A and B are shown apart, each in its own frame.
Chain A
Amino acid sequence: HVYLQYSNCFLVFHVFVSDPQWYPARQSIRLDPKGKSLKDEDVLQHLPVGTTATFYFRDLGVFLTEYAGPLLIYLMFYFRVPFIYAPKYDFTTSKHWVVHLACMCHSFHYVKRLLETLFVHRFSHGTMPLRNIFKNCTYYWGFAAWMAYYINHPLYTPPIYGEQQIRLALIVFLFCQIGNFSIHIALRNLRPPGSKTRKIPYPTKNPFTWIFLLVSCPNYTYELGSWLGFTLMTQCLPVAAFTLVGFIQMTVWAKGKHRSYLKEFRDYPTLRSPILPFIL
């Protein structure tokens, strides 16, 4: 259901879908599945299309699936759904309180991500090709299952340094979750709805954003911190592996973003590193 509206002498393209739940922010239009999303102000005459223009829709529901998966999968292991562990453990709960805490943290993390996807993020690249969706889901879901299996295992061993270690880990985790959220809010406020100007993010009154002084992509920094906290909390090798892989990927993204900042803004602060202050 596509409506074309004329404005002055330009053909301005607007997309409205009859189902009201599909509000515009959840859609994104691109000319081909692998290409970039069209910007709102792209003019149809100037777009590289042939006589028939094909438009592909992708719902941000992709992100929602990617995040709801790990959330639910982890819970399946937590509640020890049958056929995962030995039958005598079906629907039992772990005797270690850190396992309950870990479940709360993991669930909180993904619920937060889901809510942010729905209400906070403004996607400039709101869609992705089908191949990527499959790859991403396998990654998130696979790792979630792998981690959850060991943390919720009847033979799970709690952290060596006990309560001290868990407490420190929880503090780190919560600190970074708040930090990550603060950055997402700050980035959202950087570009008010409708505005297309791109600006350099700067620290705001919120202390969690002061990290912008040292880092271009503090959302990734905080994300790393959260998972380091979770690794410390669970003392589980698969979690460490997940943290490492995530760190590598986020570093790649952060470097790319940092480079594009430098290219776009002459006056970009020189003190900033892509993801780790002074290091990376």
Chain B
Amino acid sequence: MSAPAMGTSKTAHTDSSHKKKKGPGTLATAYLVIYNVVMTAGWLVIAVGLVRAYLARGSYHGLYYSIEKPLKYFQTGALLEILHCAVGIVPSSVVLTGFQVMSRVFLTWAVTHSVREVQSEDSVLLFVVAWTVTEIIRYSFYTFSLLNHLPYLIKWARYTFFFVLYPMGVAGELLTIYAALPYVQKTGLYSITLPNNYNFSFDYHTFLILVMISYIPLFPQLYFHMIRQRKKVLGHVEEYSKVE
């Protein structure tokens, strides 16, 4: 899904708590800074690529092809984030991060890449734009956090833009999967039928429908989690203004 990854422990910390928190070592921090800078740069490349292609063509149509490669590289590269959690240099849940990254990777490869016919759909642009803006903000947020120099604007953007970006991304993803359905059914893509020696079957078409249905319980949970995080992270500012 297009939700920013739940770097939950990074969110609610004020500057003073950094001293108490047992963060990653110096080497790990340096690595993470480099990682996050590279990812920020990568998604900026995608953003620039989209803008340039739009200006060149004069239409929204088929912009996917202009950023197909960097999208695949940098979205797939996010798999490293699961490793970061597993190793412990990032204090997020492996399961949660894994789930979010895998859902993005799934959409990139198992839907958009695999079903050529959907690549020219406008819904692809919808989630690509949502992901791009989200990731630029998210990776720069992490970069600045690691350097203990987080501009309030970035923090605010991270916890505000999602209001629009998240539903936008979900809409793009769902519409894309929906567009892929007839082609998957027609070609039997990634499906195994009986009879076979392993006595197993898999219907990718049905699987995609189940994936779409799974958005119903999952999307609200993640959305409201971010809203709660926003109150926690940005909430104290309102308290100060009340005091004044």
Contact = CB atoms under 8 A, between A and B. Distances in A.
B200 A150 contact: yes
A156 B199 contact: yes
Interface in B41-79: none
A238 B196 CA distance: 13
Given A150-B200, A235-B197, A238-B200, 10 more contacts: A150-B194, A150-B199, A150-B201, A153-B194, A157-B195, A157-B197, A236-B199, A236-B200, A237-B198, A237-B199
A156 B200 CA distance: 9
Interface string B196-212: 11111100000000000
Interface in B177-232: 194-201
The prevalent SS among residues of B at the interface is: loop
Contact of B196 (A151, A157, A234): A157
A269 B70 CA distance: 58
A155 B198 contact: no
Interface residues of B, number: 8
A160 interface: yes
B98 to A, nearest CB: 17
Interface of B: 194-201
A155 B197 CA distance: 10
Contacts, number: 29
8 contacts: A150-B201, A153-B194, A153-B199, A155-B194, A235-B199, A236-B199, A237-B198, A237-B200
Nearest to B195: A155
Nearest to B200: A237
Nearest to A150: B199
Interface string A115-155: 00000000000000000000000000000000000110101
Contacts of A235: 197-199
A155 B198 CA distance: 11
Contacts of A236: 198-200
A238 B198 CA distance: 9
A237 B194 CA distance: 12
Interface in A154-169: 155-157, 160
B46 to A, nearest CB: 38
A150 B196 CA distance: 11
B217 to A, nearest CB: 15
Contacts of A156: 194-195, 199
A178 to B, nearest CB: 27
B193 to A, nearest CB: 9
A160 B197 contact: yes
Give the 10 A-B residue pairs with the shortest CB-CB distance, closest first.
A237-B200, A155-B194, A236-B199, A155-B195, A237-B198, A150-B199, A157-B195, A157-B197, A157-B199, A156-B199
Contacts of B197: 157, 160, 235
Nearest to A157: B195
Nearest to B201: A150
A106 B195 CA distance: 22
A82 to B, nearest CB: 19
Contacts of B198: 235-237
A234 B199 CA distance: 9
Contacts of A238: 199-200
Contacts of A153: 194, 199
Contacts of B201: 150
Contacts of A237: 198-200
Contacts of A160: 197
Nearest to A241: B200
Contacts of B196: 157
A155 B199 CA distance: 8
Interface in A199-243: 234-238
Contacts of B194: 150, 153, 155-156
Contacts of A150: 194, 199-201
Nearest to A153: B194
B198 to A, nearest CB: 4
B68 to A, nearest CB: 34
A238 to B, nearest CB: 6
A190 to B, nearest CB: 38
